[in-house]
Amino acid sequence: MTPNASSLATSLVQSVDWLAVAPPTIAALAGLAVLVADLFLPERRKHLLGWGAIAGLALAALALLPLLDGDRSTFCLTTGAHTCSYTADTFALVIQFLVLGGALLTALLSFSALDDLKLPAGEFWFLLLSSASGAALLPASRDLATLVIALEVASLPAFALVGLRRGDRLSSEAALKFFLSSVTATAVMLLGVSFVYAATGSLHLSRIADALTHVDPRLDTLAQAGVVLTLVGFAFKTAAVPFHFWVPDTYVGAPVPVAAYLSVVGKAVGFSGLILVTVLAFPSYADVWGPAVAVLAALTMTAGNAAALRQRPERAFSAVRLLAWSSVAQAGYLLVPIAAAGYADSGQDASRAIGSTVAYALMYAAVNLGAFAVAALVARTSPANRLTDYRGLYAARPAAALALGFFLLCLAGLPPGVIGLFAKVTVFSAAVDAGLGWLAVVMALNVVVALYYYLQWTAVLFRTPEPAAAPEPVPTAGAAVTRPRAVPLTAAIALTAAAGIALSGAPQLVLRFASSTLL
């Protein structure tokens, strides 16, 4: 090959940094492998698929390790300035860790649910892994097309996961509701993306940021509309008000592990996309999205807490419903630092504010998955999963009750859930630093209101069991023994509890993101 030809080849053919793209790729390949293996495995060996999926996710998470030494980029434009579609910087790595870890814990939760609900194993693991790979791709994407594709790769399998309980009316209804509202949001977002493209002539986030500083005045309205509409799609994923109506019904209709997955990984997808778009692509329009996100945050936490307060404990599925509304409220707290980034004076301040969201999200992922894990455990013995079913849990299963109490107190932000408290403090101080005093006040009020339902649930755990249930402890114990032991489920609870306790002892492990620049 002549030197001339080789230089032509490098300019046309991109060299792909496979190491950088390894985490999402491994997850996707593992998904395909599981799907193929499902064809050849006999029915009684199907549980091996689950372990295969877990191994795939663990491998994908391990693939993050070699990337820690510095930022790597790939899929770059070969002409002009250094612009890439995929960047594995600190932010991307942390969110990828969150997503893959969350998917791993979900997988651990799912073993017993697959058995109990008779879900098709091959499809389930394939869908979970594909969705996880999309979610892992998203935080590293640096152009709008990749972002939209990643978002859809993460979402489409999720619809199927929600509707996987065949023949269950609630499940199909939940999936349909989820699907319709999600598709609408995607359509709106695509419209926004096209407006932004029309106004700036680029899909790369950094180029959009440059171009938006000097938009043709005649296109200014178009650009503004594009910015707002793009945010709608991500706001839907984070389940921000007014795009939150699908949450309770979807969570209740879906198998509990899938609800856990949506509440953690689904939200991570939403807010990381929101962060990328706002901070990297639209910094010059901060005066448009800053106040919008702030109002969204205030509405989201207020609506979530108000609805959570109104849950009646004796209603069917009230525990999952309460967790659903609490996750809406928590999404509100996650949005606060993003709003604060819109008011930041410099890019560095904005990046620090984003760090608060990341720190909060890591805390939230661990403890919320833990709470769902205990809910999944209780759902095995009392399928209705009412809050009243948790009465006296401490007497029946002390360890699970203590763990759930700890998770709930973390979510509430009370000691001994120290990490919950300090994560809230960082979010709070991000709002104060940005001069968003009113938002800080709204948040404080919401935290106080939320204490009531978290505490009430915690107190129920330690109440004496219902007198009616007391005379017959032997048959219930017998029933628990006949069911296959949920070792992976127990492992998930233990892992999340260990993470929560470790973080409470050394909050700096996640809070350091709040004082460093990530993007």
Where do contacts with other proteins occur on this chain (CB under 8 A)? 359, 414-416, 418, 421-422, 425-426, 428-429, 432-433, 444, 447-448, 451-452, 455, 459, 462-463, 507-508, 511-512, 514-515
Q: How far is the CB of 335 from other proteins (least distance, A)?
A: 20
What is the DSSP secondary-structure string of 54-96? Answer: HHHHHHHHHTTGGGGGS-EEEEE-SSSS--EEEEE-HHHHHHH
Shortest Cβ distance from residue 362 to other proteins (Å)? 13
Question: Closer CB to other proteins, residue 62 or residue 441?
Answer: 441
Give the torsion sign (CA, 332, 378, 61, 254).
negative
Q: What is the DSSP string of 97-112?
A: HHHHHHHHHHHHHHHH
Which residues, in sequence order, are CB contacts of 464 under 8 Å at separation 6+? 392, 395
State phi, psi for 87 to the nearest 5 degrees: -130, 125
Name the CA radius of gyration of the chain, rounded: 23
Report the residue number, 478 or 505, with the smaller CB distance to other proteins. Answer: 505
The tokens describing 438, both together, are: 């009113």
Rank residues 17 and 433 by Cβ distance to other proteins and give the closer one.
Answer: 433
Q: Which is nearer to other proteins, 383 or 398 (CB)?
A: 398
Q: Per the structure block, which two tokens stand in for 101? A: 């870890």
C-alpha 203: how far from its chain's center? 25
Backbone region of residue 186 per phi and psi (left: phi > 0; alpha: psi in -120 to 50; beta: other values): alpha
Residue 318 CB, shortest distance to other proteins, in Å, is 19
Q: Which two tokens stand for residue 349?
A: 């301040």
DSSP result, 258-311: HHHHIIIIIHHHHHHHHHIIIIII-GGGHHHHHHHHHHHHHHHHHHHHHHHHT-
Residue nearer to other proteins on the CB measure, 66 or 473: 473
Min dist. Cβ of residue 153 to other proteins (A)? 34
Nearer to other proteins, 310 or 463 (CB): 463
The HSE-up count of residue 366 (CA atoms within 13 Å, CB side) is 26
Cβ at position 422, least distance to other proteins in Å: 6
Q: Which is nearer to other proteins, 29 or 451 (by Cβ)? A: 451
Least distance in Å: CB of 305 to other proteins? Answer: 14
Q: Which is nearer to other proteins, 215 or 451 (CB)?
A: 451
Q: CB of 3: closest distance to other proteins in angstroms?
A: 52
Shorter beta-carbon distance to other proteins: residue 7 or 516: 516
Q: The tokens of 429 are what?
A: 């101080």
Q: Smallest gap, in angstroms, from Cβ of residue 512 to other proteins?
A: 5
- Alpha carbon distances (Å) from 383 to 54, 117, 147, 275, 496: 26, 11, 38, 38, 23
Question: CB of residue 517 vs other proteins: minimum separation in angstroms?
Answer: 13
